[in-house]
Structure 1
């Protein structure tokens, strides 16, 4: 063992009690011997128990119907989420303004992230009401089992199919070993040909077949050729999904004014686009340490930090890229309209 590894060992051990998930970056999490003895599955089981325990304390944030849908399917889907006048006002604010934007290119898709810190929302009352409102906030916090401040953006997915590149988000995957929440409020209709969000119903629960599959993956994950798989975002194919007893995926080709909140420990993917498309929405995400025994006490909810996670995250990515002498994965593209053309590369 190298001297640097000896120094890092306490950190690697400490990460076992956190949301750390990478098998290739942490030799303890990625240990074949320890995972053969059940380390990974043990973390999975404990994370799910703690999440269920916290979520029961947050039942008042959503309706009984939403709680049942989440329990059975792993997601909440709410159509006609906003009244007509609120939706029209929100669309108008999004369409008629320009925003500081960051583009991330993955294969034949570009995802545009637009932070909405408090000083931006002050001039956009419809957007402000939505992202701070009980529907968006409550459903995210319930599914994530954490009464904390989520990260959120205006979110645009632009696709250019048939350019010879593959979008890795079109492969079914689980984001991480712990229950976690992502949401999309779609402002406009999404057609099935435009690559809608796909989710395998019920795959958020740790069944015995899923646990056996997870253990098998964990033994070899550190050496996986797929880098995302090696970092703990496990990929699976249709045959594996069937063998675990899951139903076919649901493709959310939905009308505008639909909110979807999904537990992305469950298997999901971006659908493959058959034609160039632009998908506009409001995106939210919430993930905390899965082993916390409480729902709140969130530092990022304090005054001065609340609502600024997206802005701070982009600055962090830029700083990290500069330290490594590389370009950030999220490239700043200026103050633009939400549907401005994207650079798909050569």
Structure 2
């Protein structure tokens, strides 16, 4: 079977495949000693920087400078106050088809921003179609693609759970990806704010050396999430990469954060069980593609249906690939959260 699958495994080296645990080539200590992982990281980073140079002219200079320096951008009062009030109230007071997942002591609820919601909440559609916002999304993701958009609610500190794995500093992958949060409520330090290590999106020589050393580790000997390609990092690792401690971003409502989650980030440890509610956006693509667009799933009429299709696909093949996002019927984003 290994011989039969060998051509597929070789082709996957030119994709976003990242699991050291499940992929015989990516997880090969022998190949990584020869530089396989380090080469994939170096090429992916070079391609990302090349694409970003082509997208840079469309992004307001102060946003671009903040991102290039820190790896994230913070934009307060990103929506006009009147529009934001209408947007928030229309979303929070209505019920929508929802899914939930529990990790450790936290429940995450997601509601797809689909055609129904965009029709019901025109203020949301206007925000997500803004040219400046999309130019920033494209620059951070390094692709001219439409992100997946959700309304996301996070409820921490539930009884009977272990530590939320999202609270451990980590990178999502070995290459750039974009996540964004438009906070519908203020986020204090007690609420578990988004946390980021400034400058960790850059693949410096120190980061490359750290990537090389971790590629030589037996994937069976480390935590499962790191072994599957989302490496965790501690204070010692940050020091080796000459990176500062992480910053917790306590921010007011109507603030947008756009970040490259190839940098080290985490969900801050919450001190209460309050809800964090946000518009959450996500974009990741094959890091080795030498073009900017060409994504058929970003076509209007298709883009807003992708989340529903993805959930339905995983429901259909749950036995084979698992489905962590369980349907909980129509729910409001706030209140009525279940523990279980």
TM-score (norm 1): 0.95
Match of 1:203 among 175, 200, 204: 200
Q: Deviations over 1:173-200 (max 9, x none)?
A: 0000011110001011101011100000
What secondary structure, in the 3-state scheme, does the structure 2 residue paired with 1:193 have?
Answer: helix
Matches of 1:304 and 1:221, distance apart in 2:
45
What secondary structure, in the 3-state scheme, does the structure 2 residue paired with 1:122 have?
Answer: helix
Cα 1:43/1:72, change in 2 over 3 Å: same
2:127 match: 130
Cα 1:136/1:251, change in 2 over 3 Å: same
Deviation at 1:303, TM superposition (A): 4.5
Say which is worse superposed, 259-268 or 300-309, in terms of deviation.
300-309
Say which is worse superposed, 52-61 or 259-268, in terms of deviation.
52-61
Deviation at 1:162, TM superposition (A): 6.1
Gap runs ≥5 in structure 1: none
Deviation at 1:80, TM superposition (A): 1.2
Matches of 2:96 and 2:303, distance apart in 1:
20
1:318 maps to 2:315: yes
Match of 2:78 among 77, 81, 84: 81
Q: Deviations over 1:142-163 (max 9, x none)?
A: 1001001111101111112564
The answer to whether the 8 A contact 2:78-2:256 is kept is: yes
Cα 1:108/1:136, change in 2 over 3 Å: farther
What secondary structure, in the 3-state scheme, does the structure 2 residue paired with 1:81 have?
Answer: coil
The answer to whether the 8 A contact 2:182-2:280 is kept is: yes
1:177 match: 174
Q: Which residues of 2 match residues 1-346 of structure 1 at below 5 A?
A: 4-160=1-157, 163-323=160-320, 328-345=323-340
Q: Deviations over 1:206-265 (max 9, x none)?
A: 111111111111111532431111111001111211221111211110000110011001
Q: Deviations over 1:69-99 (max 9, x none)?
A: 1111011111111111111111111122111
TM-score (norm 2): 0.96
The answer to whether the 8 A contact 2:60-2:132 is kept is: no
Deviation at 1:60, TM superposition (A): 3.3
The answer to whether the 8 A contact 1:24-1:223 is kept is: yes
What secondary structure, in the 3-state scheme, does the structure 2 residue paired with 1:315 have?
Answer: helix
Matches of 1:264 and 1:142, distance apart in 2:
13
Pairs aligned (count): 340
Say which is worse superposed, 68-77 or 237-246, in terms of deviation.
237-246
Gap runs ≥5 in structure 2: none
Matches of 1:138 and 1:334, distance apart in 2:
34
Matches of 2:25 and 2:83, distance apart in 1:
50
